[in-house]
Structure 1
Amino acid sequence: MRRLVSILTLLPFLLAACNFAALSREERVARRAQARWDALIRGDIETAYAYLAPGYRKIKSLERYRRGIHGVGKWREARVERVTCPEKDVCNVDMQVKVRLMVPRMGEPIESVNPVRERWIYKAGEWWYVPES
């Protein structure tokens, strides 16, 4: 009986894993890119950092990454527009990111939507974000 309860407890997680594996690479990359941006918007830099390519994380610590992030509190929304994969292990993600800026002497904040292109690579069984710098 305990074994059955254990299996039933794990069943939703196993089904979710199977569904994720059935996604196309474009869908998988889109989900990871969206999750990274959702973390950035929440101000959860540690979670966003975990989406960076392992090689990038080897040369840039979490603290250095945190100091280089400018936009937390200004980013309001991010949405994946398109994912294209020019190579088997490389995808480009086109995002639309809404920012809110306070402009001196304007009184009201200004919101704008800006395009952002990201590069994602497939390594060690997962898709990872590779920043330009």
Structure 2
Amino acid sequence: MTNPASGRRRTSLGLLLAASLAMSGCAMLAPKTPEQQVQAKAAEYWKARVANDYKKAYTLLVPSYRKIRTDEQFRQQFGEGASIASAEVTKVTCEATRCEAQVKLGVKTGLPSLGLGTVTSYLTDVWLLEDGAWWRFQGT
């Protein structure tokens, strides 16, 4: 014969676990703010750039740029002089259809003889909302 109190505890524990999972699932489905969306997209873009994955970075650019430039043309505009060693999106501020992402870069200079190592640089990325998605603005 089973203990009724033990069965109730298992049922209560199961209900508590199910409620907890349902609540965490709702949190994951909650819409992200534009700042959170752009923070994630900008981090993805710069992760690709650090890895020299220009094809991946290219996919995050505004569709209007991708209509007139190939991924190879995008890669070629950066040259061979310096490379990005690290990138961190430090702040994102948004308006209705435009966000600015502040990015801290660690850049390896193309002149190792100067002994500069990695130099810290800062830039502002512009992200635009088009067709319900955020895209990095890239000048031509």
Judge conservation of contact 1:102–1:109 (CA < 8 Å) in 2: no
C-alpha spacing 1:21/1:49, structure 2 compared with 1 (3 Å): farther
Instruction: Give the TM-score normalised by the residue count of structure 2.
Output: 0.73
Give the match for residue 108 of structure 2: 100
Judge conservation of contact 1:43–1:73 (CA < 8 Å) in 2: no
> What's the RMSD between the two structures over aligned residues?
2.4
C-alpha spacing 1:53/1:23, structure 2 compared with 1 (3 Å): same
Give the match for residue 7 of structure 2: none
Q: Which has the higher strand share?
A: 1
C-alpha spacing 1:25/1:71, structure 2 compared with 1 (3 Å): farther
Q: Cα deviations across residues 72-108 of structure 1 (Å, max 9, x unaligned)?
A: 97211000111111x20100111001011253643x3
Instruction: Give unmatched runs, 5+ long, in structure 2.
Output: 1-24
Cα distance in 1, alignment partners of residues 135 and 54 from structure 2: 15
Cα distance in 1, alignment partners of residues 122 and 73 from structure 2: 25
Count of aligned pairs: 116
- Pair 1:130-2:133 in alignment: no
Structure number with larger C-alpha Rg: 2
C-alpha spacing 1:43/1:124, structure 2 compared with 1 (3 Å): same
Structure-to-structure mapping, 1:17-28, within 5 angstroms: 19=28, 22-28=31-37
Instruction: Give unmatched runs, 5+ long, in structure 1.
Output: 1-14
Q: Secondary structure at the match of 2:121?
A: strand
Give the match for residue 77 of structure 2: 68
